[in-house]
Amino acid sequence: MDVIQQIPETKDTHDSLKNQLDNVTSPENRSGKSKEASLPVQLESPPRLSNTKLFILGTGQVFLWGLTSASILETAFALPMIGVEFDLTPGEVQWVSASMMLTWGCFQLVAGRLCDIFGRKRGYLIGCLGLMLTNIISTFMPNLASLSVFRALAGIASAIVLPASAGIIGSLYSAGKSRTLAFAAITCGGAAGAAGGELVAGMLIEWTKWTWRPCFLLIGILTIYPLAIGFMIIPLDPPLTTDKAVDWLGASTIGSSIFLLLLTFTLSETEERGWKTPYLPALLVASLMLFTSFAWRQSQLSRSARTPDNKKPPPLIPLSLLSMKNRNLVVIYIASACTWAMTDSFFVFASFLYFDVLDLSPFQAGLRLSITFFSGTVAALVVALTISHISPRLLMTLGCMISIASPVIFALRGLDWEYWKGDLWALLVIAYGTDATIAAGSTIISQTASPEDQSVASALFQTSCRLGFALGLAISTLVQTSVEKSALSSYANPTEEQKLNALADGLRAAQWCNAGYIALAAVLVGFGMKGWQRLDHHTSNSHDEEGIAAREHRLN
């Protein structure tokens, strides 16, 4: 999708664009009866940045994506110490992490659309500032309630800043190698941040008297860098106007649906009775009903957008992003959900193994997992160097197939295995599936989505990853607890060793479940996508009927 030359904003230009849209969207043209070829629609694009500024901006985005990944992993590592300090049960302390993931998943899709409408730089700066402040304030919270509130606010800030960041990359970096390398770079940043966050959190928790509190403080301070880079380099957004139409009803419906879905999965893990808790099925049904209502409304708004006298807002999600005409996008959304279901769940159960079964200290566990800093960086570099030369379909399939080895090794490992015998090799290949899926998937989505839909397309991609993790972890946890209870049922009064062995059996079963997720992703990509062309051969669908109608509505 080539960058379009900037057009001065004058009344004549506006009238010219409107006349072109009137020609394109007239009933005669849509029915194929027009004898004249419609003129191409040109939209104003951001000014081109120099290569130096693009490089500096890229470092800020890599830093930002690394910090958001580190924030998730550091929080997970800090939970045991937070529970000890606040005298919480394991179920209660989970809300520190769950509150962030709930708001993150709930607001991401809506935030992506708002960034497209009201300006990506505005969304980026608000998100960075919110991420900085909420992490710094979290450092000083005295109890579970206040800490959970600010972790929830940090989730909202992350939901705003990441779609804005992806949209900025999609609009400022030209299509082709430049944009592909940019998406591969932020993938590398995310992998490095996740691994570095584990190691740094382990060091801070074990070697400082403030234990978990410096983890949040460090994230907040480091966020100043991407905030400053964005403020100085990202071009200004167009002035705000009063004619911006937003589907607030659809936004509230889909936000409530995702919130209830994630809340259901969270409660299934934190409640003592799990899925036997009476109100969980009701929450799940309510979530599905809201999602059905949202899908119906988007369909109605899409039909209305094709009428010349339409006064309704455009759809929150352009249906072209979910159309079977763009089958590759649908496959990427589902495959990314499966990939992240494996990756994030893998680290959750690996942490349980290290802490609860092998009784390792936070630093020892972080040191073992820190190899993913190296392996994730290498995997991201391999993806970055090959993504322009081979088919993304082949790249994602091979990446997922390689990563199958990670949960399989942990499912087979004995409790007496040395680190180099199993864990090392599993952690060396864990990142290939996620790195290939994110880099190739983000690039294809960016090239397929129209310029004004870059952030919401990225938000849809990231939301699928979050939902995949929530659903995958819920299923894997259900498998783990079922196997553990089954193993303990054969003992009247199980000893501590028997309890540990039962827990280990449950963790192995969960890792087999994780292996199924990544294998499903490989099958979906290998057999579900179409075409074997390289990324530079992918074409844009930015001028489909829905995009034209949406632009017509915005001009009116």
Least-confidence region, from 175-189, 332-346, 481-495, 539-553? 539-553
Q: Is the pLDDT of residue 201 over 90?
A: no
Phi (first) and psi of residue 246, to 5 degrees: -130, 135
Q: Give this prediction's pTM.
A: 0.78
Q: Give yes or no for a contact between 284 and 261, defined as CB atoms under 8 angstroms apart.
A: yes
Predicted confidence at residue 260, as pLDDT, reads 92
**CA separation for the pair 83, 371 (Å, rounded):** 27
Predicted confidence at residue 7, as pLDDT, reads 38
Q: Is the pLDDT of residue 30 over 60?
A: no
Q: Give yes or no for a contact between 555 and 316, defined as CB atoms under 8 angstroms apart.
A: no
Predicted confidence at residue 28, as pLDDT, reads 43
Residue with tokens 């730089």: 121
44-67 pLDDT per residue, tens: 556 778 999 999 999 999 999 999
For range 84-92, the mean pLDDT: 84
For range 443-448, the mean pLDDT: 85
Q: Is the pLDDT of residue 17 over 60?
A: no
Predicted confidence at residue 385, as pLDDT, reads 82
Q: Is the pLDDT of residue 337 over 70?
A: yes
Residues in the chain: 556
**CA separation for the pair 212, 362 (Å, rounded):** 11
Tokens in use for 82? Answer: 């937070």
CA 302 vs. chain centroid, Å, equals: 26
Predicted confidence at residue 518, as pLDDT, reads 96
400-414 pLDDT per residue, tens: 999 999 999 999 999
Q: Is the pLDDT of residue 18 over 70?
A: no
Predicted confidence at residue 307, as pLDDT, reads 83
Confidence of residue 545 (pLDDT cuts 50, 70, 90): very low
Burial class (CB within 10 angstroms; exposed 0-12, middle 13-18, buried 19+) of 70: buried
**CA separation for the pair 85, 95 (Å, rounded):** 15
**CA separation for the pair 50, 86 (Å, rounded):** 51
Query: DSSP assignment of 64-129, as one string?
Result: HHHHHHHHHHHHHHHHHHHHHHHT--HHHHHHHHHHHHHHHHHHHHHHHHHHHHH-HHHHHHHHHH
Q: Give yes or no for a contact between 138 and 78, defined as CB atoms under 8 angstroms apart.
A: no
517-532 pLDDT per residue, tens: 999 999 999 999 988 8
Q: Is the pLDDT of residue 397 over 90?
A: yes
**CA separation for the pair 375, 26 (Å, rounded):** 55
Mean model confidence pLDDT for the chain: 83
Q: Give yes or no for a contact between 190 and 64, defined as CB atoms under 8 angstroms apart.
A: no
Helical spans, DSSP H, in 139-247: 144-172, 177-207, 213-222, 224-233
3-state secondary structure 471-523: HHHHHHHHHHHHHHHHHHCCCCCCCHHHHHHHHHHHHHHHHHHHHHHHHHHHH
235-265 pLDDT per residue, tens: 999 888 766 778 889 889 999 999 999 889 8
**CA separation for the pair 245, 232 (Å, rounded):** 29
Confidence of residue 134 (pLDDT cuts 50, 70, 90): very high
Predicted confidence at residue 555, as pLDDT, reads 42
CA 82 vs. chain centroid, Å, equals: 26
CA dist 425 to 5, 273, 413, Å? 49, 37, 11
**CA separation for the pair 20, 24 (Å, rounded):** 6
Q: Is the pLDDT of residue 360 over 50?
A: yes
